[in-house]
Amino acid sequence: MSQAATLFGFLLIIVVNTVVASVAIRFFRLRLSTDWGAVVYTAIVVPLLFAFTTILLSGFIGFGGSGLDRGTALILVWVVPFTLAVTLDVFWLPAPEEVELPEETR
């Protein structure tokens, strides 16, 4: 596999994992009533989502290739997207208190 395809694969995995983490973190921060609940769910659920998307994209579909060692690849596809997603949610999006949620109907 060429280096360009490997680079494209890693970039695709980084983008997908960043989007998945951003949506999950925002969902937890908006829906859970405690700050620690959002932190605990984020710490547990987001890595599970990363495992699923990484296995799907790199294993079954074949993106990412094998051009890097395992440590560097894990940093690229797990640490970088998680850090970007947390930074996006904390610094760029409005605080959960400022967001109006629709009322629940039961």
Residue spans per domain, the chain: 3-93
pTM for the predicted model, two decimal places: 0.80
CA neighbor of 76 nearest in space, from 12, 10, 24: 10
The confidence score (pLDDT) of residue 79 equals: 92
pLDDT digits (tens, 9 = 90+) for 23-65: 999 999 888 888 788 889 989 999 999 989 988 887 766 666 6
The confidence score (pLDDT) of residue 35 equals: 79
Residue % of the chain over a pLDDT of 90: 30
Instruction: Identify which has the larger pLDDT, 1 or 66.
Output: 66
**Does residue 1 carry a pLDDT above 60?**
no
